[in-house]
Chain A
Amino acid sequence: GENVEQHPSTLSVQEGDSAVIKCTYSDSASNYFPWYKQELGKRPQLIIDIRSNVGEKKDQRIAVTLNKTAKHFSLHITETQPEDSAVYFCAATLSTSGTYKYIFGTGTRLKVLA
Chain B
Amino acid sequence: DGGITQSPKYLFRKEGQNVTLSCEQNLNHDAMYWYRQDPGQGLRLIYYSQIVNDFQKGDIAEGYSVSREKKESFPLTVTSAQKNPTAFYLCASSKGGLWNTEAFFGQGTRLTVV
Q: A43-B108, A106-B41 are in contact. Are A100 and B90 (CB under 8 A)?
A: no
* A-binding residues in B (CB < 8 A): 31, 33, 35, 40-45, 48, 50, 56, 58-59, 90, 92, 94, 96, 98-103, 105-108
A contact residues vs B (CB 8 Å cutoff):
1, 6, 9, 31-32, 34, 36, 42-46, 49, 51, 89, 91, 93, 95, 98-107
**Seed contacts A101-B56, A102-B92, A104-B35; 16 additional CB < 8 Å A-B pairs:** A34-B103, A43-B90, A43-B105, A43-B107, A44-B90, A44-B105, A49-B102, A100-B31, A100-B48, A100-B50, A100-B96, A102-B33, A102-B94, A104-B43, A105-B42, A107-B43
Contacts of A36 in B (CB 8 A): 105
Whether A9 pairs with B40 at a CB distance below 8 angstroms is yes
**A-side binding surface: helix, strand, loop or mixed?**
strand
CB distance from B8 to the nearest CB of A (A): 15
Residues of A contacting B50 with CB < 8 Å? Answer: 98-100
Across the interface, do B59 and A1 meet the contact criterion of CB distance under 8 Å?
A: yes
Select from chain A the residue with minimum beta-carbon distance to B110. A41
Interface centre among B35, B40, B58, B105 (most CB of A within 10 A): B105
